[in-house]
Amino acid sequence: MFEYIEKISALIKHISTTQKENIEKAAEWISDVIVDDHIIHAFGSGHSHIIGMELFTRAGGLANVNAVLDDLVLATSGARRGGEIERISGLADILWEKYKISSSDIMIIISNSGRNAMPIEMALRAKKEGLKVIAVTSLTQSQSYPSRHQSGKKLYEIADLVLDNEVPSGDGLMEIEGKLIGPGSSIAGMLLVNTITTEAIKLASARGAKLPVYHSQNIDGFSNEELYLKYEDRIKHL
């Protein structure tokens, strides 16, 4: 067995035990959004945006998902630039205004460290607007270092519900020559968001909801056009 696979397998098993209650609660909240035909907004900067992307226009995933995709949160315009931008206050409000976000929606914010200004201010704005906020973060990492926001708060202290990815400080699950390697936060984050959404879909189905689920575009005989048309006025990047 490869060491990284062993470490990831152990992490997944650990998450399934420690996060069970919060996963169930998050699934309940997401199922309400599905039943009531509202939107799930996913936000993350740097590598954390990959976890939000996992939920967006995904075969087998929910169609009522809006991922915040902008040069401000992506590394496509430069990794160092992106790292600096997520520490700057005031940008979350600029991003917010570019999207159609209702108080009846829900916001999932992903930040492994939970200490940078942009995800913290996105959470503060969402709370101000009346949305429930689910954080996906590493409590070990977040509690190890001070906030980079003027409030002194970190993401987990603002969110209504916290899903701990259980990744150690520094993200790496392995060590060689004094260096941490084998990051775990992306796989752990994807595991968490896919688990809460699949459980939410099951709950919504039991309540008789019409499920807005995408089919693979590479399987003949299916079309997602009806879902695209349904949500294109509420989801920016369709």
Give residue-wise pLDDT tens across range 60-114. 999 999 999 988 887 777 778 777 888 889 999 999 999 999 999 999 999 999 9
Q: Retrieve residue 68's tokens.
A: 């915040």
Confidence of residue 183 (pLDDT cuts 50, 70, 90): very high
Is residue 94 classed exposed, middle or buried when 0-12, 13-18 and 19+ CB atoms within 10 A define those classes?
exposed
Residue 82: predicted pLDDT: 78
Report, as an integer, the average pLDDT of 185-206: 98
Helices and strands (H, E) in the chain, number of each type: 10, 7
Phi and psi at 65, nearest 5°, equal -120, 130
Residue 79: predicted pLDDT: 77
Residue 45: predicted pLDDT: 87
pLDDT score of 1 more than 90: no
Confidence of residue 155 (pLDDT cuts 50, 70, 90): very high
DSSP states along 120-158: HHHHHHHHHTT-EEEEEE-HHHHTTS--SSTT---HHHH
Q: What is the pTM of this model?
A: 0.96
Euclidean distance between CA atoms 167 and 141, whole angstroms? 8
How high is the mean pLDDT of the chain? 95
- Residue with token string 């299916």: 222
- Residue with token string 């942009």: 118
Report, as an integer, the average pLDDT of 160-178: 97
Phi and psi at 47, nearest 5°, equal -65, -20
Say which amino acid occupies 148.
Answer: R
Residue 101: predicted pLDDT: 97
pLDDT score of 46 more than 90: no
Higher-confidence residue of 87 and 17: namely 17
Residue 112: predicted pLDDT: 95
Residue 192: predicted pLDDT: 98
- Residue with token string 């949160």: 73
Residue 53: predicted pLDDT: 94
Q: In 3-state terms, what secondary structure has residue 91?
A: helix
Q: In 3-state terms, what secondary structure has residue 62?
A: strand
Length of the chain counted residue by residue: 238
Query: Percent of the chain, pLDDT > 70?
Result: 100
pLDDT score of 224 more than 90: yes
pLDDT score of 6 more than 80: yes
User: Domains in the chain, start-ordered, CATH in brackets?
Assistant: 3-231 (3.40.50.10490)
Residue 103: predicted pLDDT: 97
